[in-house]
Amino acid sequence: MADDVGDEKQVKEKKTRHQLIREQQLAELYAIMQTPGGRAFIWRLLAELKISTFGFSGEELVKAEGARRVGAWVIEEVDAAAPKAYSVMRDEATSREVNEKGKNNG
């Protein structure tokens, strides 16, 4: 039997199911963002998606735009799940870069 969009109870139940699913998704991402390894992985993913790279043309432009859209979505999800995590990831990435440069120069 099809859902009756006029049935307020069915609409509320669907909304509640959707909200529960969304809360679970955010909780899962929050758990990932609480670990240094999870944050490092998400940072590498964003770097791979090249969301800050411009100057593509032709077919490269289409691929880059698709990657940027995925990257923007990842950032939105991270912000929704753990609002302070992006700045923590950025600081940790900067620290890793400084450490790597120090190792390579030393």
Place of tokens 């929704």: 80
* Residue 67 C-alpha from the chain's centroid: 12
Reduce the DSSP state of residue 97 to 3 states and report it.
helix
Record the tokens describing residue 72, joined without a space: 């923007």
For the record, the structure tokens of 11 come out as 């609409």
Report the predicted TM-score, pTM, of the whole model to 2 decimal places.
0.74
> For residue 80, which amino acid is it?
A
pLDDT in tens, the chain (106 residues): 555 556 888 877 888 999 999 999 999 999 999 999 999 999 999 999 988 777 778 888 888 889 999 999 999 999 999 999 999 999 999 999 898 888 887 6
Closest to 96 (Cα-Cα) out of 38, 40, 33? 40
Alpha-helical runs (H) found in 2-57: 8-33, 36-48
Cα(9)–Cα(58) distance, integer angstroms = 50
